[in-house]
Amino acid sequence: MPYVLTLASHGIERAAQIDPAIRKGINLWHGKLTHEGVAEAHNLECFRLPF
């Protein structure tokens, strides 16, 4: 529930900036893969989050 409240109060970008656990849980952003382990496992390009 704390994650939901943080996301609802701040929006995803700000929530990811203030809570590392939320940031770590973002695997896709605007259709681009952002999780390094998943990208490596499937030989895909990994993108950094813009925030």
What CA–CA distances, in Å, run from 26 to 20, 22, 47?
A: 10, 7, 11
Stretch 24-45: mean pLDDT: 95
Stretch 18-24: mean pLDDT: 96
Q: How far apart are CA 6 and CA 47, in angstroms?
A: 24
Mean pLDDT of the chain: 96
The confidence band for 22, taking pLDDT boundaries of 50, 70 and 90, is: very high
pTM for this one?
0.80
The confidence band for 30, taking pLDDT boundaries of 50, 70 and 90, is: very high
